[in-house]
Structures are given as structure tokens and as C-alpha cells.
Structure 1
Amino acid sequence: MSIDKHINKRVYLYDSVDKALIAILRTDARASISKLAAQLHVSRGTVQNRLDRLISSGAILGFTIRAHDELETDVVKAIMMIEVVGKSTAQVISQLRGIPQLEKLHTTNGAWDLVANIQTSSLLEFDLVLRDVRTIDGVLNSETSILLSSI
């Protein structure tokens, strides 16, 4: 499935300036247009036009912060690998998207069909999420690892 089917926006081809702009914003989403222009060696107008186009095309979905791990003491984070039966992947993905604690869902190759990023506020909630995923029709097997610290 192509990216334009997921975001229902017009397709836009990204060049090296777009990719560099996104890379800078990943580390500093609050950077001013002037700062971005200076780092990219382009005009402020170019940066603003590129930002507008990246947002309207769906390449940039929003701006956020990354909090230090020590601030997230009441959070349980994990990675879950999921094996799907036969051709039921689309149906399984549809049901997984309904679980709010699954922050991201990825297709992958190898032994596992899907990888899910999980974030919950307690071990009890985490346990319930694991049960919910494992009871979805089409989920054959799963393996989950709790993320202890980031290095």
C-alpha cells in the first residue's frame, strides 16, 4: 500500500532540501524559519514554502517534543513482534489500530509480520494490551520486550 493511500494527500517528490529540513526538525521542532534557512543555506521564503508543502502533502504530520526518559517514570514502553496467520494481515492491522496504547505499527520482513511500539501507564494496563492483541483473530504468535532504558 502506498503512502498516499494512508494519508489521502497529493503525492510530492522530496529532494535533498526537504530531507535536510525534516532531519533538522526532528532534532529541533521549534527552530525558527530564520534558523532553518541559515542551516539549509536557503532563503526564509524557501523554507516557508517547503514547510507548507511538506505539511499539505502529509510528509509532516505534526510537531512534538521528546521528553527526557527520567521524566517518564510512570510509563511502560515495549516492542511487540506479531506473527499473522495467512492473508489476514489487513484485518489484523485494522484491529490493532483500534488499540490506543499501540503508538506505532510497522510491517517487517523475517519471522515476524508486524512490529508494534507499545506505551502504557502501568504494568496492569500493559498486561491488558498484550491480552487484547493476542485475542485478535489472525494473530498466530507474538513476542514482547519491555524497553528498560534508552542509551
Structure 2
Amino acid sequence: MAAEKKEIDEIDRKIILDLQEDARRPYKDIAAKLAISEGTVKNRVTRLLQRGVLKLEARVDPFALPHKIPAIVGVNLKDRNHDEIMRQIEKIPEVTGVWNASGHFDLFFEIMVDSLDELNEILFKKDLKAIGGISYTETFIILSSTTKYFKLS
């Protein structure tokens, strides 16, 4: 189930880059920086949101919170039902993202838990085990990070 690709122009790209730095930045500031009207910025942001190109959300820095352990889990599947297993993994409340990937693993997911016991419970005793169709997982505990989200380049 591949997402439909949506083209953006250079102005859209610059607006997105500004909002990635600060999603609360006033449209008038973006407009002044890009030498366009505030109305143009507002209309373009609205259009990008409606088309699903842009999503504005609050992101949590797990390293700023006590007792939060972020991890990436690589997953190999018994069969190739990627989409269904991705949907099931995405339903686990502690999972923050799921990706279909090329390379050694079929899928990756990011998870944020309060303890290693909780991670163990999710991976081996209940949630992931209940999904089925998974032949192997490898867990990578994130020790530090300079990036808290993907940026448009």
C-alpha cells in the first residue's frame, strides 16, 4: 500500500523547512523571510495539510523525560504480509513509528517504554508475540540522539 507521491514546489519546501524548525512560527514571520504574503503562507500550509503532505504534531524528546527508554526493533517476517503486520505493530501504544525497509530486516519500528521489563513484556510475552508471523527480532536501545525527527533535505 504505497502512498501517493505529491509534488511540492520550492516555496512549499521552504515553508515546510521553516515549520520543521518551529511549528509555532507565525505565518507573518515565514512570509517576511520568503518575501511573500502572509495569506499565501496560510493558504499553502492549509493545502499541504489537506493533501497530507504536512502534519503538525508535538514531538517528545525521550532523553528529556525520566525513565523513558527509546529503542528501534528490526523485524524479520515468516511471510511477506508486511502491510498487515505493520498495522498490527502500529496498534501497540508504546510504538511511535513503523517502517517497511530494505536490507537485513523486513521492518523496523520505534518504541518508547518506561523500563526494560516493559520492553521485554511487549517483545516476548504479549503484544508482539500475539501478532504472529514474525520469525526474528533484534532490538537496538537508543543511548543518545542528535535527531528527534526526520527532516526534509
TM over 0.5, shorter chain: yes
Task: State how far apart, in whole Å, the 1-side matches of 2:98 and 2:53 are.
Answer: 17
CA gap of 1:38–1:65, structure 2 versus 1, over 3 A, is: farther
Task: State how far apart, in whole Å, the 1-side matches of 2:91 and 2:140 are.
Answer: 21
**Is 1:149 the equivalent of 2:116?**
no
| CA displacement, residues 53-87 of structure 1 (integer Å, 9 cap, x when unaligned) | 01111222223245483x21220100111111222
| CA RMSD after TM alignment | 1.9
Task: State how far apart, in whole Å, the 1-side matches of 2:123 and 2:62 are.
Answer: 26
Superposition TM-score, scaled by structure 1 size: 0.84
Q: 1:129 Cα deviation (Å)?
A: 1.8
* Alpha carbons 1:89, 1:138 under 8 Å: kept: no
Q: Which structure 1 segments of 5+ residues have no match? A: 5-10
**Is 1:53 the equivalent of 2:25?**
no
Task: State how far apart, in whole Å, the 2-side matches of 1:135 and 1:107 are.
Answer: 20
What is the match of residue 8 of structure 1? Answer: none
Q: How does 1:114-129 map to 2 (within 5 A)?
A: 114-129=107-122
Q: 1:45 Cα deviation (Å)?
A: 1.2
* Aligned-residue identity in percent: 29
What is the match of residue 95 of structure 2? Answer: 102
Q: Which structure 2 segments of 5+ residues have no match? A: 147-153
* Alpha carbons 1:76, 1:121 under 8 Å: kept: yes
* Alpha carbons 1:96, 1:102 under 8 Å: kept: yes
Q: 1:122 Cα deviation (Å)?
A: 2.1
What is the match of residue 64 of structure 1? Answer: 58
Structure 1 stretch displaced more, 137-146 or 120-129: 120-129
What is the match of residue 138 of structure 1? Answer: 133
Secondary structure at 1:46 match in 2: helix
* Alpha carbons 1:107, 1:115 under 8 Å: kept: yes
Task: State how far apart, in whole Å, the 2-side matches of 1:123 and 1:94 are.
Answer: 24
Task: State how far apart, in whole Å, the 2-side matches of 1:37 and 1:63 are.
Answer: 21
Task: State how far apart, in whole Å, the 1-side matches of 2:47 and 2:60 are.
Answer: 24
Number of equivalences:
144
